[in-house]
Amino acid sequence: MKGVGDLLLVVVVVGATWTRTPVGGLFDRLVHAVRGGDDLPALTSYFTTAAPPITAEIVAHALDLAAPAGGPFPEPWRTAAVSVLGADGLSGLDARYAGDPEAALELASVGEDLRTRAIERARSAGAEHPDRYAEHRAYLPSEAAREGDRVVSGTLALASVLTLEWPVRVPHRITSPFGWRIHPITHDRRKHDGVDLGVPIGTQVYAAQAGKVIAVGTNEKGGNWIIMDHGNGVRTSYCHLSEWQVTKGQVVQRGEPIALSGNTGRSTGPHLHFNVKVSGTLVDPLLLRREPPPTRL
């Protein structure tokens, strides 16, 4: 009997661990079904993520927009929402805004009843922040989750991109822009996935947006590098650094110092390589800088 008890304990522990993964989601679903639960997460939600449908074209378009003023729904979410929903969608957001842009966006796209039920289910499942869309999304019906991804995640991602801070503050020039180029070392034609900012070794590098440091490392190509996750599919990376000033897992604010620039890795001179991704798609960082970058005198 002791052996059976130990086996059951192992099953419970493994099942609890797996609930943080898609496979575990199915385990959780099975448990709820056996227990007679009728308010289960959508099955497809275990295999999809709230990746916003943001493209470089949408970003470029949003940069040219001027959202109508006058309502309580604030910037930068207001301009981002116009790009995602159109100007007509602002009235619904203004009516539902009570201090939390994410909640207003979800209420406008999903509705109060579905949101409330999803939050309750997430809270019962032990979510740390059940009121956050990313944590209760799995408990929305499939159609509601897709619309929530488009409106909530899409708007939040676009707002994050629209307010990115330039990672260096000293005069500099763009030594290599985003896009196709002849690589200065290999001499073959390949796409440059970011921009190179010509700055001296030891130049202070700042976080382009608030977020979490998800990787700090070094390799032959990028030298010393940092990758940050800003939520809703937005990530930035910083390469060829001489020194790290943050650690993996650290949460930093927009404009907070994170590193010093350098000349490490595959590099032909001191510079910072700056990269922006939205939903896995590379975006030209220069699109996100409203004023021209400063030029070294």
Among the candidates 108, 135, 162, a domain finishes at 162
Q: Are 233 and 154 in contact (CB under 8 A)?
A: no
Query: For 29-52, how does the pLDDT look when each residue is reduced to its tens digit (9 = 90+)?
Result: 444 444 444 333 343 333 344 444
pTM of the predicted protein model: 0.74
**Side chain identity, residue 114:** L
Does 90 fall in a domain?
Answer: yes
Is residue 84 domain-shared with residue 141, that is, in the same domain? yes
Is residue 271 domain-shared with residue 212, that is, in the same domain? yes
Is residue 66 domain-shared with residue 158, that is, in the same domain? yes
Does 293 fall in a domain?
Answer: no
What is the domain range of residue 9? 1-38
Q: What is the pLDDT of residue 224?
A: 97
Is residue 280 domain-shared with residue 181, that is, in the same domain? yes
Does 46 fall in a domain?
Answer: no
Percent of the chain with pLDDT over 90: 56
Does 32 fall in a domain?
Answer: yes
Is residue 129 domain-shared with residue 236, that is, in the same domain? no
Q: From 133, 106, 107, select the one nearest 119 (Cα to Cα).
A: 133
Least confident of 48-57, 139-148, 267-276: 48-57
Does 261 fall in a domain?
Answer: yes
Q: What is the pLDDT of residue 294?
A: 47
Is residue 188 domain-shared with residue 153, that is, in the same domain? no
Query: What total number of domains does the chain contain?
Result: 3
H-only helix segments in the chain: 2-18, 22-34, 56-63, 77-85, 90-96, 101-109, 112-124, 133-136, 142-148, 154-162
The chain-wide mean pLDDT, for the chain, equals: 81
Does 270 fall in a domain?
Answer: yes
Does 295 fall in a domain?
Answer: no
Least confident of 26-30, 55-59, 144-148: 26-30
Q: What is the pLDDT of residue 44?
A: 35
Is residue 73 domain-shared with residue 1, that is, in the same domain? no
Query: For 196-250, how does the pLDDT look when each residue is reduced to its tens digit (9 = 90+)?
Result: 999 999 999 999 999 999 999 999 989 999 999 999 889 999 999 999 999 999 9
